[in-house]
Structure 1
Amino acid sequence: MTDPQPAIRLTGLTKEFGAVTAVDHVDLEIAAGEFFSMLGPSGSGKTTVLRLIAGFEQPTSGTIELFGDDVTKRAPFDRDVNTVFQDYALFPHMSVLENVAYGLRVRGIGRKERIERARRALASVRLEQMGDRKPSQLSGGQRQRVALARATVVQPKVLLLDEPLGALDLKLREQMQVELKEIQRELGITFIFVTHDQEEALTLSDRVAVFNDGRIEQLGTPAELYERPGSRFVADFVGTSNLFDDAVSRALLGRGGVHSVRPEKMAVGSGETAADVRNAPGTVVETIYLGSGIRLVVDLDAGVRVSVLEQNDRNRVHDDERGDRVVVSWHDDDVVALGGADASSAPAV
Structure 2
Amino acid sequence: MTDQQPAIRLTGLTKEFGAVTAVDNVDLEIAAGEFFSMLGPSGSGKTTVLRLIAGFEQPTSGTIELFGQDVTKRAPFDRDVNTVFQDYALFPHMSVLENVAYGLRVRGIGRKERNERARRALASVRLEQMAARKPSQLSGGQRQRVALARATVVQPKVLLLDEPLGALDLKLREQMQVELKEIQRDLGITFIFVTHDQEEALTLSDRIAVFNDGRIEQLGTPAELYEHPGSRFVADFVGTSNLLDDAASHELLGRGGLHSVRPEKMTVGGGETGADVHNAPGTVVETIYLGSGIRIVVDLDAGSRVSVLEQNDRHRVHDDERGDRVVVSWHDADVISLATSESVTDAAAAASV
Quote how far apart the aligned CAs of 1:292 are.
0.5
Native 8 Å contact 1:13 1:23 kept in 2: yes
Quote how far apart the aligned CAs of 1:348 are.
31
Report what 1:333 is aligned to: 333
Change in 2 beyond 3 A, CA 1:99/1:348: closer
Q: Secondary structure at the match of 1:171?
A: helix
| Distance (whole Å) between structure 2 residues aligned to residue 230 and residue 185 of structure 1 | 30
Q: Secondary structure at the match of 2:351?
A: coil
Native 8 Å contact 1:256 1:343 kept in 2: no
Quote how far apart the aligned CAs of 1:319 are.
1.2
- What value does the CA root-mean-square deviation take over the aligned residues? 4.2
| Distance (whole Å) between structure 1 residues aligned to residue 166 and residue 82 of structure 2 | 19
CA deviation string 1:239-290 (max 9, x = no partner): 1000000000000001100000000000001111111110000000100000
TM-score for the superposition, normalised by structure 2:
0.95
Report what 1:6 is aligned to: 6
| Distance (whole Å) between structure 1 residues aligned to residue 254 and residue 352 of structure 2 | 8
Native 8 Å contact 1:88 1:143 kept in 2: yes
| Distance (whole Å) between structure 2 residues aligned to residue 120 and residue 113 of structure 1 | 11
| Distance (whole Å) between structure 2 residues aligned to residue 237 and residue 22 of structure 1 | 19
Native 8 Å contact 2:29 2:352 kept in 1: no
Change in 2 beyond 3 A, CA 1:182/1:97: same
Quote how far apart the aligned CAs of 1:318 are.
1.9
CA deviation string 1:206-237 (max 9, x = no partner): 00000000000000000000000000000000
Native 8 Å contact 1:255 1:346 kept in 2: no
Q: Secondary structure at the match of 1:313?
A: coil
Matches within 5 A, 1:206-285: 206-285=206-285
Native 8 Å contact 1:256 1:342 kept in 2: no
Report what 1:186 is aligned to: 186
Q: Secondary structure at the match of 1:12?
A: strand
Native 8 Å contact 1:285 1:298 kept in 2: yes
Q: Secondary structure at the match of 1:345?
A: helix
Native 8 Å contact 1:97 1:131 kept in 2: yes
| Paired positions, count | 347
Change in 2 beyond 3 A, CA 1:74/1:275: same
Moved more, 19-28 or 311-320: 311-320
Change in 2 beyond 3 A, CA 1:109/1:344: closer
| Distance (whole Å) between structure 1 residues aligned to residue 68 and residue 326 of structure 2 | 58
| Distance (whole Å) between structure 2 residues aligned to residue 348 and residue 276 of structure 1 | 35
| Distance (whole Å) between structure 1 residues aligned to residue 349 and residue 46 of structure 2 | 36
Change in 2 beyond 3 A, CA 1:348/1:264: farther
Native 8 Å contact 1:255 1:348 kept in 2: no
| Distance (whole Å) between structure 2 residues aligned to residue 175 and residue 342 of structure 1 | 36
Q: Secondary structure at the match of 2:11?
A: strand
Change in 2 beyond 3 A, CA 1:271/1:346: farther
| Distance (whole Å) between structure 2 residues aligned to residue 269 and residue 94 of structure 1 | 61
Query: Do structure 1's residue 163 and structure 2's residue 167 form an aligned pair?
Result: no
| Distance (whole Å) between structure 2 residues aligned to residue 348 and residue 257 of structure 1 | 27
| Distance (whole Å) between structure 1 residues aligned to residue 347 and residue 91 of structure 2 | 58
Q: Secondary structure at the match of 1:249?
A: helix
CA deviation string 1:72-91 (max 9, x = no partner): 00000000000000000000
| Distance (whole Å) between structure 1 residues aligned to residue 178 and residue 127 of structure 2 | 16
Quote how far apart the aligned CAs of 1:344 are.
21
| Distance (whole Å) between structure 2 residues aligned to residue 122 and residue 183 of structure 1 | 11
Native 8 Å contact 2:5 2:67 kept in 1: yes
Native 8 Å contact 1:3 1:32 kept in 2: no
- Runs of 4+ in structure 1 deviating by more than 2 angstroms, as ranges, are 341-349
Question: Which runs of no fewer than 5 residues in structure 2 stay unpaired?
Answer: 339-344
Matches within 5 A, 1:43-192: 43-192=43-192
| Distance (whole Å) between structure 2 residues aligned to residue 307 and residue 96 of structure 1 | 48
Question: Which runs of no fewer than 5 residues in structure 1 stay unpaired?
Answer: none
| Distance (whole Å) between structure 2 residues aligned to residue 227 and residue 135 of structure 1 | 42
Quote how far apart the aligned CAs of 1:347 are.
30
